[in-house]
Each structure stands twice: as structure tokens, then as C-alpha cells.
Copies of this chain bind each other. A is one copy, B any other.
Amino acid sequence: MAPIRYTLARETIGCKTMSSEKKPRRPKAETPKGFRDYFGAEVTERAAMLGKIAEVYRAHGFDPLETSAVETVEALGKFLPDVDRPNEGVFAWQDEGGDWLALRYDMTAPLARVAAQFRNDLPSPYRRYTMGPVWRNEKPGPGRFRQFYQCDADTVGAASVAADAEICGMLSDALEAVGIDRGDYIVRVNNRKVLNGVMEVAGVLDPSDPDRFAEERGIVLRAIDKFDKFGEAGVRALMGKGRLDESGDFTKGAGLSDAQADVVMGFMDAKRETGAATAARLRELVSGSALGAAGVDELEFIAQILDGQGYGPDRIVIDPSVVRGLGYYTGPVFEAELTFEILDEKGRKRSFGSVAGGGRYDDLVKRFTGQEVPATGVSIGVDRLLAALRAKGRIGGTAQGPVVVTVMDRDRMGEYLAMAATLRRAGIRAEVYLGNPKNFGNQLKYADKRESPVAIIQGADEAARGVVQIKDLVLGAKIAASASVEEWKAQPAQFEVSTGDMVAKVQEVLARYGVK
């Protein structure tokens, strides 16, 4: 609830509304379309996961950064200058002063702004991590929201690919820290420079005239980026004459010959048993291209320093089939995939898939300062990783609710509150039922809704005898479901203890269900 300045502001507002509202129509109580609210464990589980990731990032020397949620549209820099009302992709509005402001749509644009704005104050290289919501003005869909969390780590100002290697290793550590076992994930590394070398060999890149074949390369890059969507045949069609989709639409191809396309396809297919063999195959493919050789050198360097720190190929591998983002990044590209299987909507087994990705991009600050600043970073898909932890049984499942002290006797509220306080002092989450105590059944329904493991009951009679009833609600629910008299006798779901034993006995029950 609002104190001080907040109260006053709200009060002022309240008066205004009241005096001028003409039609007392009731507003709809609805989360705006495409937005959602997070309750209870949804909040704590995400916070716990992000906390563990933050610990790993901090240990690596990364500092937290929390930028304002609001940026100038100019700083975000994604709008057509001739559009009066920018609303493509972001939520934007015009300030009193006439400036357009918008909610950030990712964490990279604000990082670029900060790196430029504070370039004289920040250490260089600047390692930072950030976690928070971003907003997209997009059509919402199932599981697709207009506000969601991103969790990014970037290093700004380090030209060495040692920075990329560090991010890959750190990503691997972060996944293990949150509860993804080694063997259940793999970080794959590729390199845009190798692809450039391949394009040079395929004849669509001329290092002496970088603008030549730009259109063809654009088509090849977009085709590669869609490999997961179109498959090999579709990508080959786009590299050659073009692709006709199911709806009859034709997408122009890059015009490569089959031999040229073979070189590009060979790149995506270059993964071998060991990193060394993959690198050797890539070196073969880019033979004659200095650019390509430099890319292979980078991959080998990354593999070597990661090996030296214990990140073997069971955790991080060179894999040229990682093509997502190759069109955007300028050097190393990486992706973390969870390799364990889950059942999809149709009950078919499939591997869980990608939960994080990133790479090197060198134009971060250039828009602001004109200066090229090398940067590399990774973004973890927060909701996907949470879903993975749920699928693996790492989070959820245990009763999270507090012990509920019920109210048998309204006049003894003070004593019930003192009981809850006694439980809390012993580290037990506990509360008193504060609704109308008249109907005791409602109190137990409440405890049920709260997912409470235990209820405490003390009427005037019990109080006089110095005892309380402890009701094991987990067992109670089990008995209500399966109901055998023998089970009930062996371990009754409700039993009486002396008030002095209450804490110890409650702890016993909680320990049985792993409640903390």
C-alpha cells in the first residue's frame, strides 16, 4: 500500500476522477491482451533461477546493470523517420516535450546506449549482465506474450575471442548451476568468418570489393538462417533459382550453381567426431580464403582455451550446423541446446531444444559514436529454461504453502497470532486464518487453496488442557483420496500434542514432505 508521496498523489487523482466521472460504468478487471500476471511459485522459482545465474556471472567478473525500462525512440533506433506514430514492434508514446519514448524491446539496444553514454566512466572491457522484462508490440499468441524476461551477459570492448570462449564456458556453468546436468545440454559454437570464407570459395564474396555480390550473400544468409524451417531442399532452392512455397509465393534465389551451393551446404555439414577433425574439414572447405582461415583459427583457439579449463566436448563443441543468427553476428556464434527428450503436444518424443544463444557483433556503439566497438554476448531464454527445469522435475511439485493456524475462538486471536509467531521463530512459514472464522470448513478449504502442509487447531478445551491439534493436510488429502482404515490407524492425519511440543512435531511433519 502506498505511503507518503504515493498516497498523496493517488489521493489527488482519486478526487479528480470522482468529481468528473459522469457515467459510473464498471471497468473490466482484465490483464491487457497479450500480458499476464505471475503468482506465487512462478515468481519465486524464476527469481531463484535468475539468482543462481547471476551468481555464476558475478563470479566471472560480470557486473549487474539495470537500465530504465523506457528509452527514447531515437536511442532504440528502429523506426522509419517519416512515420509520425511509431508503433511497429514497440510500445511508444509521445512525451509532453514532443520526444517519442518507448519501452525497451530487448537488452542489447539499452546496452549500446549505456556503453556510448558512459564510455568514459565504465571499465573497458565492460562485462555486464542484466535480467528483466522487455516489451514487444506484437500480435500475442499461445505462449507468446508482449512482456517477457530476458537474461543477458555481454562483454563490450574485448576484441579477443577469449571473451567469446569465456561466455561459452560461463553459459555452460550457468546451465549446470540452475540444475541442468552435464550430458543434458550442449553448447555449440560456429563462426561467421568461416561462412564468409565459404562464400568466398563459393564465389559470392570478393574480399577486394566487399560490396560485390552483396545481394546474393544476403539471400544465402537468409536461406541459411531458415535451415530449421525449410530444410535442406528449401535452402538449396533459395541458393539456386528460388523457392516456391506452398501458398504459391515465389522467393527469388541467389543464383548459385549446384557446385557453389555444395560448398555452402558442405559448411553446415562439416561437423566431425572431434573438434580437431571438424576444424580440419572446415580448413579444407575454406582453402584459399584468408578470411575463412582466420575464422577456423578462432574456432580452434576457443576450443583450445575451453579445453584448458575443463570444458570438454561433452559441454562445448564446434558445430558448423549452428546457423541461427549467422546473418546478424560477425564472428563466433553460439547456442545452448538441451538434449534430453520431452513429449510434444502430440505425444511425440523430441529433444527440448535451444535455450540460449549469442555471438559477436561489432557495431554496438557505432550508431551513437561512429566508433566501432567489439562486443560479444549471450541471452538465455528465461521462460524456456524454466520450462526445462519443470520438465526435469527440478522445480515445482512440493507444497509451498504456509502452516495455517486456524481460529476456533475469535476472542483468542492474540494467542493464535502468537502461535504463528512461535512457528516463524523456528524458521517455519506460518500464518493465522484472518477471514471470518465462523465456518470451520471454510478455514480448511482455505488451507487447501494455500497448499498448506499443516493446520494447527486449538479450541477453548484444548487451550485449557495446554494442547494443540496438528492436522497433516498432505496425508489428509491422501487418505481422502485412497481411504484405507488401516492407513489411518497407522498414521493418523490429525493428532494432539502439548503446546510445548508444537514446533518440534510440526517440523517432523514438514520434514516428511520436504517443505521448507
Contact = CB atoms under 8 A, between A and B. Distances in A.
Contact of A28 (B4, B30, B74, B159): B74
Nearest to A384: B4
Interface in A350-391: 354, 356-359, 361, 367-370, 375-381
Given A26-B370, A91-B70, A446-B123, A324 B413 contact: no
Given A28-B74, A70-B35, A93-B91, A358 B417 contact: no
A424 B150 contact: no
Interface stretch (A75-83, A251-259, A501-509): A75-83
Contacts of A402: 59-61
A91 B87 contact: no
A436 interface: yes
Contacts of A10: 106, 108, 328
Interface string A1-26: 11110111111011011001111001
Given A106-B6, A379-B3, A11 B335 contact: no
A29 B69 contact: no
A43 B64 CA distance: 6
A92 interface: yes
Of the candidates A2, A99, A446, the one having the most CB atoms from chain B within 10 angstroms of its own CB is A2
A90 to B, nearest CB: 9
A359 B1 contact: yes
A277 interface: no
Contacts of A61: 402, 404, 420, 429-431, 450
A117 B30 contact: yes
Nearest to A360: B1
28 contacts: A1-B357, A1-B358, A3-B356, A3-B357, A3-B378, A4-B381, A16-B78, A17-B79, A17-B80, A20-B80, A27-B74, A27-B75, A30-B113, A32-B72, A33-B99, A35-B70, A37-B65, A38-B67, A39-B64, A39-B65, A61-B402, A61-B404, A61-B450, A91-B93, A125-B433, A166-B417, A305-B414, A309-B418
Given A4-B325, A4-B357, A40-B64, 16 more contacts: A1-B358, A4-B354, A8-B225, A9-B89, A14-B328, A27-B72, A29-B368, A30-B113, A31-B71, A37-B118, A38-B65, A40-B65, A47-B64, A61-B420, A61-B429, A309-B421
